[in-house]
């Protein structure tokens, strides 16, 4: 008999092997077998029993062993995984291996009957208050539970509008109907509050999946799911593959977040896969956000998705009042040499402190300064492995690369001219902290960024201190923008609001709009009205105005028009081909060869596709690898996918040691 086996290797989808009839009787779709592959032995997943082999059967090799006869995925899951493999042009065996942890199916010692729950899933406070839903929430829940509606839902609710409460109610109703649900969150470590809200509402029914689990913890969570004990899975992007049975709803909270995209190996977007999986299962899917991605928004206004709105904060709490400060204007500066801080902001900080409330300051830059330079010869310190400058940290004094992690001591003199007048440029959170501490010596200040928060414990400690009002000012990077519900925050300051508008990325406007809106949304979540101060070089910028809730619709209208004009997503689909090698010439030559081949095929068969590049990536070297890329744009992803499949069969590609990665619907363009 012939079996079709998907092997986790980079080349093709599956391979045919022979197996004798008696062993074949144990096998089914989803069994795991060991097979010879080239000169080695590897494992693979049975994905079919073809009648006829592609080559003469005498040339086929034999299956060596049946590792797991019981299928590790069912028919439904297989359909989904196959879709993922086709869509992302990624070998089926690798897709299956990504979705189903090896530890789960590898034979293991009997585990204890009593399955330990992860600490997150243990209810800290089982007596959670159940609110009476307000009319907007109520009608959202009703609409989602409407049986005849099969489209995905965009739950578009301003910050603090009670989206989580909507998810909880939908889930409650699903559980009553004996269905299950998946909640995808961007970074689970950053949202312990959310997990707690779920586990107190659904005690003992939650499994939690995220990347920080040890293999053992992961198996425990998987056992909770496959045994049917867990009815709800909360997790980061990989939870979209959770093997729950009878799924009624998949929720993607903060659907606009880029961390739903996996940036290596299988480059999938869990938000998009949630929509696909729900469709295949006939389940509901809810994408929630205060600042939907432009793609999702377009789907909503074109009625492919149902657009549900929660336009008000709960309990009619006011949206924060926003004030703009033009930081170009010297008269606004706090002092002659502190140009990044306005008097307006300092005055508000001082008022907040006097009133015993808390303030939050946002700056998306780690460290003390962007870089160190020599004032005599202009030399700057750059990373040896990456095409970026080293970030200057003062405490402790080091220069550090944010791409490869390399760090070194801050030098006392210039390595080129031996000059000793070294200076720094640019602003980071360390410097903000130091300056504010000197302006407000009595204020209790804490920093929330990857410099000080290394793990979940650090984060929990800081979140607790904030909740217990042990800090007055919180200075942080994007980390502070993530859905936290801190009742004490009366003031939010955004330091260089337009810094991110100039990145070479077609999503620069969108990202800035999202982060400024989200940070602003941290203000005034309890009964004290909130205030937001946005400092910017161009305070009248439409993106910033939109972020201050003056006109969201206008932002999306303008942004969509621009995307259409320049043929960017969501109107055109994009696929990025990325090339990497330690030798800059090799990668350049190879990228050019590949693009030439694609180009000639395109001209012949796919006239709608368009190729930009190849070009050196904006960050041309990372971890000693030189990087080239090319962007293929089209109105039809199918065309590119057909094209790429042809490319994979191209012998040169298989033999070349230049790494080529395919990134369908890329997020990171740098
Ligand atoms: P969002 O996710 O939209 O930012 P949350 O769901 O976190 O908002 O809700 C904000 C706060 O309001 C939470 O503390 C939540 O417990 C509370 N809340 C939610 N719904 C209601 C309601 N109907 N009545 C009163 N409080 C509510
Ligand atoms: Zn580096």
Ligand 1 atom nearest to 487, measured from its CA: 14
Strands 391-394 and 397-400: antiparallel
The number of the ligand nearest the C-alpha atom of 386 reads 2
pLDDT at res. 296: 98
Mean pLDDT confidence for 131-153: 96
Q: Where are the alpha helices (DSSP H) in 124-184?
A: 135-145, 163-176
Residue 282, classified by CB atoms within 10 Å of its CB into exposed (0-12), middle (13-18) or buried (19+), is exposed
Least confident residue range of 458-467, 511-520, 631-640, 659-668: 631-640
At residue 111, the 3 state secondary structure works out as coil
Nearest residue by C-alpha to atom 19 in ligand 1:
162
Mutation choice for ligand 1 from 162, 167, 483, CB with most ligand atoms inside 8 A:
162
| 117 band by pLDDT with thresholds 50, 70 and 90 | low
pLDDT at res. 170: 98
Given a cut of 60, whether residue 346 has pLDDT beyond it is yes
pLDDT at res. 99: 95
Given a cut of 60, whether residue 124 has pLDDT beyond it is no
How many whole angstroms separate alpha carbon 241 and alpha carbon 243?
6
| 568 band by pLDDT with thresholds 50, 70 and 90 | very high
> Taking Cα atoms as reference points, which of 160, 159, 401, 190 lies closest to residue 290?
159
Question: What percent of the chain stands above pLDDT 70?
Answer: 96
Given a cut of 60, whether residue 669 has pLDDT beyond it is yes
Any ligand 1 atom below 6 A from CB of 160: yes
Given a cut of 70, whether residue 116 has pLDDT beyond it is no
Any ligand 1 atom below 6 A from CB of 285: no
pLDDT at res. 485: 80
The number of the ligand nearest the C-alpha atom of 402 reads 2
Any ligand 1 atom below 6 A from CB of 487: no
Q: Which residues surround ligand 2, an ion (CB under 5 A)?
A: 383, 385-386, 401, 403-404, 406
Instruction: Report the 3 state secondary structure along 437-491.
Output: HHHCCCCCEEEECCCCCCCHHHHHHHHHHHHCCCCCEEEECHHHHCCCCCCCEEE
Measured in angstroms, how far is the CA atom of residue 83 from the centroid of ligand 2? 36
Nearest residue by C-alpha to atom 18 in ligand 1:
162
Q: Which domains does the chain have, with CATH numbers?
A: 2-114 (3.40.1440.60), 135-315 (3.40.50.300), 317-365+428-562 (3.40.50.300), 368-426 (no CATH), 573-664 (3.30.70.360)
Measured in angstroms, how far is the CA atom of residue 137 from the centroid of ligand 1? 10
Any ligand 1 atom below 6 A from CB of 389: no
> Taking Cα atoms as reference points, which of 219, 522, 198, 243 lies closest to residue 362?
522
Mean pLDDT confidence for 26-32: 94
Any ligand 1 atom below 6 A from CB of 159: yes
Any ligand 1 atom below 6 A from CB of 161: yes
Is 228:247 a contact under the CB 8 Å cutoff?
no
Nearest residue by C-alpha to atom 5 in ligand 1:
162
Structure-model confidence comparison of residues 120 and 652, the more confident one: 652
Q: What is the mean pLDDT of the chain?
A: 91
Mutation choice for ligand 1 from 129, 164, 467, 524, CB with most ligand atoms inside 8 A:
164
Measured in angstroms, how far is the CA atom of residue 593 from the centroid of ligand 1? 55
> Taking Cα atoms as reference points, which of 118, 96, 97 lies closest to residue 209?
118
Output the six-digit token pair for 428: 């980071």
pTM (2 d.p.): 0.93
| 182 band by pLDDT with thresholds 50, 70 and 90 | very high
Given a cut of 50, whether residue 123 has pLDDT beyond it is no
Structure-model confidence comparison of residues 655 and 86, the more confident one: 86
How many whole angstroms separate alpha carbon 559 and alpha carbon 115?
49
Structure-model confidence comparison of residues 637 and 49, the more confident one: 49
Q: Where are the alpha helices (DSSP H) in 247-392?
A: 270-281, 294-301, 343-354
Any ligand 1 atom below 6 A from CB of 162: yes
Mean pLDDT confidence for 422-426: 95
pLDDT tens for 244-273 read 999 999 999 999 999 999 999 999 999 999
Given a cut of 60, whether residue 112 has pLDDT beyond it is no
Nearest residue by C-alpha to atom 20 in ligand 1:
162
Any ligand 1 atom below 6 A from CB of 313: no
Measured in angstroms, how far is the CA atom of residue 624 from the centroid of ligand 2? 8
DSSP state of 522: T
Nearest residue by C-alpha to atom 12 in ligand 1:
162
| 451 band by pLDDT with thresholds 50, 70 and 90 | confident
Structure-model confidence comparison of residues 566 and 191, the more confident one: 566
pLDDT tens for 518-535 read 999 999 877 778 999 999
Tell me how far the alpha carbon of residue 649 is from its chain's centroid.
Answer: 31
Any ligand 1 atom below 6 A from CB of 164: yes
Measured in angstroms, how far is the CA atom of residue 484 from the centroid of ligand 1? 12
* Dihedral (Cα; 610, 615, 621, 627), 10-degree rounding: 50
Mutation choice for ligand 1 from 129, 291, 313, 314, CB with most ligand atoms inside 8 A:
314
Structure-model confidence comparison of residues 104 and 32, the more confident one: 32
Mean pLDDT confidence for 473-499: 90
CB within 8 Å of 589: residues ≥ 6 apart: none
Residue recorded with tokens 């509050």:
193
Measured in angstroms, how far is the CA atom of residue 382 from the centroid of ligand 2? 8
Ligand 1 atom nearest to 129, measured from its CA: 16
Any ligand 1 atom below 6 A from CB of 166: no
Q: What is the largest CA-CA distance in the chain?
A: 87
The three-point CA angle 91-92-98 to 5° equals 95
Q: Which of 430-434, 451-455, 549-553 has the highest mean predicted lDDT (pLDDT)?
A: 430-434
Nearest residue by C-alpha to atom 13 in ligand 1:
162
pLDDT tens for 378-387 read 999 999 999 9
Given a cut of 70, whether residue 589 has pLDDT beyond it is yes
């Amino acid at each position: 008999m012939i079996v079709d086996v998907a092997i986790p290797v980079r080349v093709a989808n599956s391979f045919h092997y022979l197996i004798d009839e008696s062993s074949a009787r144990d096998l089914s779709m989803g069994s795991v077998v060991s097979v010879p592959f080239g000169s080695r032995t590897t494992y693979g997943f049975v994905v079919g029993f073809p009648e006829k082999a592609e080559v003469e059967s005498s040339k086929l090799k034999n299956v060596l062993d049946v590792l797991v006869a019981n299928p590790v995925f069912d028919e439904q899951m297989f359909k989904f995984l196959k879709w993922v493999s086709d869509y992302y042009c990624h070998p089926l065996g690798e897709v299956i291996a990504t979705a189903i942890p090896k530890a789960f199916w590898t034979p293991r010692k009997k585990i204890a009957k009593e399955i330990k729950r992860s600490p997150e899933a243990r209810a800290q406070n089982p007596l959670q208050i159940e609110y009476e839903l307000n009319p907007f929430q109520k009608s959202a829940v009703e609409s989602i539970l409407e049986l005849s509606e099969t489209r995905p839902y965009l739950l578009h609710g301003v910050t603090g509008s009670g989206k989580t409460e909507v998810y909880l109610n939908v889930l409650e109703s699903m559980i009553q109907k004996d269905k299950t649900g998946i909640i995808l969150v961007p970074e689970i470590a950053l949202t312990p509050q959310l997990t707690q809200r779920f586990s107190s509402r659904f005690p003992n029914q939650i499994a939690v999946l995220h990347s920080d689990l040890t293999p053992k913890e992961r198996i425990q969570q998987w056992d909770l799911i496959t045994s049917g004990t867990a009815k709800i899975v909360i997790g980061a992007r990989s939870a979209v593959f959770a093997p729950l049975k009878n799924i009624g709803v998949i929720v993607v909270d903060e659907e606009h977040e880029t961390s739903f995209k996996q940036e290596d190996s299988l480059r999938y977007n869990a938000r998009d896969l949630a929509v696909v999986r729900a469709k295949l299962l006939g389940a509901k899917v809810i994408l929630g956000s205060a600042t939907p991605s432009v793609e999702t928004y377009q789907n909503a206004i074109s009625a492919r998705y149902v657009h549900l709105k929660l336009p008000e904060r709960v309990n009619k709490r006011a949206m924060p009042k926003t004030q703009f400060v033009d930081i170009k204007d010297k008269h606004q500066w706090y002092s002659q040499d502190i140009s990044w801080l306005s008097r307006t902001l300092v005055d508000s900080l001082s008022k907040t402190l006097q009133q015993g409330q808390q303030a939050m300051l946002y700056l998306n830059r780690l460290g003390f300064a962007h870089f160190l330079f020599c004032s005599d010869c202009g030399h700057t310190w750059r990373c040896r492995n990456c095409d970026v400058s080293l970030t200057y940290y003062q405490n402790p004094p080091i220069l550090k690369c944010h791409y490869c992690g390399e760090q070194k001591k801050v030098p006392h003199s210039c390595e080129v001219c031996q000059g000793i007048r070294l200076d720094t440029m640019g602003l980071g959170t360390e410097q903000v902290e130091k300056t504010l501490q000197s302006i407000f010596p009595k204020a209790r200040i804490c920093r929330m960024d990857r410099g000080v928060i290394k793990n979940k414990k650090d984060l929990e400690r800081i979140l607790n201190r904030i909740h217990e009002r042990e800090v007055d000012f919180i200075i942080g990077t994007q980390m502070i923008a993530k859905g936290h519900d801190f009742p004490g925050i009366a003031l939010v300051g955004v330091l260089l609001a337009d810094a991110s508008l100039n990145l070479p990325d077609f999503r620069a406007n969108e990202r800035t709009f999202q982060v400024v809106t989200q940070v602003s949304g941290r203000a005034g979540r309890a009964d004290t009205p909130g205030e937001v101060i946005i400092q910017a070089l161009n305070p009248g910028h439409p993106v910033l105005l939109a972020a201050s809730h003056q006109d969201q619709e206008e932002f999306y209208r303008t942004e969509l028009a621009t995307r259409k004009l320049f043929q960017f997503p969501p109107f055109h689909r994009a696929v990025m081909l990325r090339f990497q090698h330690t030798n800059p010439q090799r990668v350049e030559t190879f990228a050019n060869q590949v693009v030439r081949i694609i180009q000639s095929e395109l001209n012949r068969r796919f006239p709608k596709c368009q190729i930009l590049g190849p070009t050196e990536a904006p960050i041309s070297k990372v971890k000693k690898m030189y990087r080239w890329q090319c962007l293929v744009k089209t109105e039809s992803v199918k065309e590119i996918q057909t094209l790429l499949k042809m490319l994979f069969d191209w012998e040169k590609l298989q033999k070349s040691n230049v790494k080529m990665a395919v990134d369908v619907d890329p997020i990171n363009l740098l």
